[in-house]
Copies of this chain bind each other. A is one copy, B any other.
């Protein structure tokens, strides 16, 4: 099948999106792929598939490739003054991690121009991109999560959570700006680091002895489909460079050794998060299990390289998802009210 991979973006995760796209290219080798790169100045480029290498972008070679603009139903490529436009109207896979891709911007653009896409819709982005809003969602749909406090750059209040604690910028993924704070002496530095990336940070207790499980899934053909459950390799903390490497994962991993009962509970929680909000997207939920309680840690609405390594037949996953995409209904405008008011006024 034909598919356009959209990657890049004006985001701290720009580079890992490139890595993610390169990885996906290998995993979808049976597809007729095209690649649209969103540069950090928001110009779109059509990338020659043979040039899908990290150096193409770091050396700026993409700037010599054809520019694209958004038009109704497609990315359009100008063909000089006298030629018409070439349209690229495949289904798009939104693979822009972080800002632009996960904050609702790209979703809104593609919706506005009626371009079909795999990826989270605008509301789904808002509730997964900002860690505060994920907490709001958990509260509302009755999914447990770690308790938290919010700190603002301008008005630093007291933090009442006891040590060790974890400090995170609210609107960044990929562990950027995240610190574990063992005692008070480390707090100011950790907050400074986080405030480098965001004016709002959230603080959570660092739970000792927590188990971590990742589960991906999507809705297609009338049913939920789940990946295997992975127990991610755990260091105390993944720094950005290690996480970066993590976005290029392509080897299928082993199923976590957990009871059927726990697996069912993870899936039930995933379901509550997904339904009515994430349709059209393949997401990965990262759960904690602590004192036998399942808690949502975070929602990755565009996981690194689409969490391909959690699925047995990744091409089939993308094929079935792309045939089950939601489409926005647009109301017809009849001008009925303007007509009736004009009539009432005798005009």
Interface residues of A (CB under 8 A from B): 10-12, 14-16, 18-19, 40-42, 54-55, 57-58, 69-70, 72, 81-82, 99-100, 103-105, 107-109, 111-114, 122-123, 126-127, 130, 132-133, 135-137, 139-140, 152, 200, 240-241, 244-245, 276, 330-333, 335-342, 347
Whether A14 contacts B333 by the Cβ 8 Å rule is yes
B136 touches A276 (CB 8 A): no
Instruction: Pull 10 A–B residue pairs with CB atoms less than 8 Å apart, ordered by A.
Output: A10-B330, A14-B331, A15-B335, A40-B333, A42-B72, A42-B112, A55-B338, A58-B339, A104-B126, A136-B136
Q: Which residues of B contact A103 (CB under 8 A)?
A: 122
Residues of B within 8 A of A105 (CB): 108, 111-112, 122
A17 nearest CB across to chain B (Å): 10
CA distance A98 to B114 in the complex (A): 18
Report A221 CB to chain B, min CB distance, Å. 16
Complex contact B337–A241 (CB within 8 A) = yes
Residues of B within 8 Å of A15, CB to CB, are 333, 335-338
Q: Are B81 and A104 in contact (CB under 8 A)?
A: no
The answer on a CB contact under 8 Å between A244 and B337 is yes
Q: A112 contacts B109, CB within 8 Å? A: yes
By the criterion CB–CB under 8 Å, are B54 and A341 in contact? yes
Task: Quote the shortest CB–CB distance from A155 to chain B (angstroms).
Answer: 10
**B335–A57 contact, CB under 8 A?**
yes
Please give 15 more A-B residue pairs, beta carbons under 8 A apart, in addition to A42-B113, A122-B126, A241-B340: A10-B331, A11-B331, A15-B335, A15-B336, A15-B337, A54-B338, A58-B335, A104-B126, A105-B111, A122-B122, A123-B126, A123-B133, A136-B136, A136-B137, A136-B140
Q: A108-B122, A123-B133 in contact; A330/B40 too (CB < 8 A)?
A: yes
Asked whether A18 and B338 contact (CB < 8 A) given A126-B122, A126-B126, the answer is yes
* Chain B residues whose CB sits within 8 angstroms of the CB of A12 once the complex forms: 331
B19, B99, B123: which contacts A331 (Cβ < 8 A)? B99
Most chain B beta-carbon contacts within 10 A, residue among A55, A135, A140, A333: A333
Q: Which residues of B contact A240 (CB under 8 A)?
A: 337
Which residue of chain B has its CB nearest to the CB of A71?
A: B69
Q: Which residues of B contact A133 (CB under 8 A)?
A: 123
Q: Which of chain B's residues has its CB closest to A104's CB?
A: B122
What is the chain B residue whose CB lies nearest that of A123? B126
Bound together, the chains give a CA A82 to CA B276 distance in angstroms of 49
B338:A57 contact, CB within 8 angstroms = yes
Task: List the B side residues contacting A58 at CB < 8 Å.
Answer: 335, 338-339, 342
Give Cα A100 to B342, complex, Å: 26
Complex CA–CA separation, A70 to B244 (angstroms): 34
A-B pairs with the 8 shortest C-beta distances? A108-B108, A58-B335, A126-B126, A40-B333, A54-B338, A10-B330, A136-B140, A105-B108
